[in-house]
């Protein structure tokens, strides 16, 4: 009955983060451990990196959500050994049991690290749970990813932005109740940018759509290599992308977006002298609605494209400089004092 309840819980999830958390908590019911961590494996030109996806403290039933630290695989010889052998191991001296998660292509995509555990004998329940997890992970990835670039798709963006706005509203309400002005001032902010490939229609018309698709894939790779794993990148449609990231202030966000713009401009694209992108960005406020946030970033993007392209423009700075006019909704929101 216990395994059936775990299966029901795992299969009820509809996004990767919830699925991973559900898997770890289900494992906590099946095996003895003080803590369970799930590391996602990322491999790129710099090597193999482990990204802490879930960190669950069994005794307190507490999930550590943020931040999600990263570490080179080589920094932990025990995890590295399991990764290379593709087989679970119990390390008695450290009281750690490590289980690889291997997909249908025989690739290790994640590592489960159970600390304070005992050696786990072969258990059909554990194998069943991991197989179900992999099946549902594949279904989720197929439904949330763009088929060409592999980026998160527009539907996933809508859900993600809605979740961010809901969390910000909850945090704003809590801070208002606590009257904690200092804490609110120190919080990281969310920033949204809309990026567009300059003269992409000309690329398609000159070289054909297959070549245009190759450019999209290459730019996707540059963006993924430049952004942090905590940042989120979406293909919004055609040659348009959306980026969601956290930064301390507007300058930090602008620096991140400018670095991305420069990386694309410096890349030696085949058969092309140069490919550039333009970006418009805005801060995501607690009282914003999704259409307003995207609309403001889009206005900044169009300003960038109409004034030379290959640049990063901030909606708030453009409004402050009188180059864009804030709409009524923005003015109404600015008049609302939350704290």
Name the residue with tokens 């304070």: 116
Q: Flag the least confident range among 46-50, 133-137, 148-152, 185-189.
A: 185-189
Indicate if the alpha-carbon torsion angle 244, 67, 127, 15 is positive or negative.
negative
**Residue pair 191/245 in contact by the 8 Å Cβ criterion:** yes
Domains, the chain, ordered by start? 2-142 (3.30.450.40), 154-334 (3.30.70.270)
**Length of the chain in terms of residues written:** 339
Tens digit of each residue's pLDDT (9 = 90 or more) over 170-214: 877 877 777 654 444 445 689 999 999 999 999 999 999 999 999
**The predicted structure's pLDDT at residue 299:** 97
The DSSP annotation for 250-310 comes to HHHHHHHHHHHHHHHHHS--TT-S---EEEEEEEE-TT--HHHHHHHHHHHHHHHHHTTSS
**The predicted structure's pLDDT at residue 41:** 93
Output the six-digit token pair for 33: 């451990």
What whole-number percentage of the chain has pLDDT above 70? 88
Nearest-angstrom CA–CA distance, 279 and 314: 9
**The predicted structure's pLDDT at residue 331:** 38
**The predicted structure's pLDDT at residue 185:** 43
| CB neighbour burial string for 192-229, b if at least 16 within 10 angstroms, e if fewer | bbbbbbbbbeebbeeeeeebbebbbebbbebbbebbee
- Please state the rounded mean pLDDT for residues 247-252: 94
- Whether 285 shows a pLDDT value over 50: the answer reads yes
- Whether 88 shows a pLDDT value over 60: the answer reads yes
* pLDDT band with cut points at 50, 70 and 90 for residue 72: very high
**The predicted structure's pLDDT at residue 4:** 58
Tens digit of each residue's pLDDT (9 = 90 or more) over 225-249: 999 878 999 999 899 999 999 999 9
Nearest-angstrom CA–CA distance, 3 and 26: 8
**The predicted structure's pLDDT at residue 329:** 47
- Whether 328 shows a pLDDT value over 90: the answer reads no
Name the residue with tokens 């002298």: 273
* pLDDT band with cut points at 50, 70 and 90 for residue 89: very high
* pLDDT band with cut points at 50, 70 and 90 for residue 283: very high
What whole-number percentage of the chain has pLDDT above 90? 55
* pLDDT band with cut points at 50, 70 and 90 for residue 119: confident
- Whether 10 shows a pLDDT value over 80: the answer reads no
- Whether 339 shows a pLDDT value over 50: the answer reads no
- Whether 139 shows a pLDDT value over 90: the answer reads no
Mean pLDDT of the chain: 86
How many CB atoms are located within 10 Å of the residue 135 CB? 13
**The predicted structure's pLDDT at residue 29:** 85
Q: Which of 69-73, 103-107, 142-146, 294-298 has the highest mean pLDDT?
A: 294-298
Q: Tell which wins on pLDDT, 102 or 335.
A: 102
Q: Which of 141-145, 161-165, 275-279 has the highest mean pLDDT?
A: 275-279
């Amino acid at each position: 009955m216990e395994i059936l309840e775990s299966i029901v819980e795992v299969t009820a999830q509809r996004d990767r983060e919830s699925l991973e958390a559900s898997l770890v908590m289900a494992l906590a019911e099946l095996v003895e451990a003080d803590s369970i961590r799930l590391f996602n494996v990322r491999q790129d030109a710099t090597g193999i990196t482990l990204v802490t996806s879930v960190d669950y403290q069994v005794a307190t039933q507490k999930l550590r959500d943020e931040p999600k630290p990263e570490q080179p695989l080589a920094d932990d010889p025990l995890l590295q050994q399991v990764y290379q052998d593709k087989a679970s191991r119990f390390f008695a001296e450290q009281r750690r049991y490590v289980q690889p998660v291997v997909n249908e292509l025989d690739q290790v995509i994640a590592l489960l690290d159970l600390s304070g555990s005992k050696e786990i004998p072969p258990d059909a329940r554990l194998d069943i749970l991991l197989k179900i997890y992999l099946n549902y992970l594949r279904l989720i990835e197929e439904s949330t990813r763009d088929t060409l670039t592999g980026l998160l798709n527009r539907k996933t963006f809508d859900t993600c932005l809605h979740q961010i706005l809901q969390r910000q509203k909850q945090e704003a309400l809590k801070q208002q109740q606590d009257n904690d002005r200092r804490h609110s001032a120190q919080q990281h902010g969310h920033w949204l940018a809309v990026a567009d490939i300059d003269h992409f229609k000309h690329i398609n018309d000159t070289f054909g759509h297959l070549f245009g698709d190759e450019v999209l894939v290459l730019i996707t790779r540059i963006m993924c290599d430049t952004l942090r794993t905590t940042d989120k990148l979406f293909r919004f449609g055609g040659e348009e992308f959306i980026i969601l990231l956290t930064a301390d202030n507007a300058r930090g966000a602008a620096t991140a977006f400018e670095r991305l713009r420069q990386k694309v401009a410096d890349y030696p694209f085949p058969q092309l002298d140069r490919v550039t992108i333009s970006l418009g960005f805005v801060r995501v406020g607690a009282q914003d609605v999704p259409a307003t946030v995207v609309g403001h970033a889009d206005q900044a993007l169009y300003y960038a494209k109409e004034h030379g392209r290959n640049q990063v423009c901030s909606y708030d700075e453009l409004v402050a400089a009188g180059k864009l006019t804030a709409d009524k909704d923005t003015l109404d929101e600015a008049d609302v004092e939350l704290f």
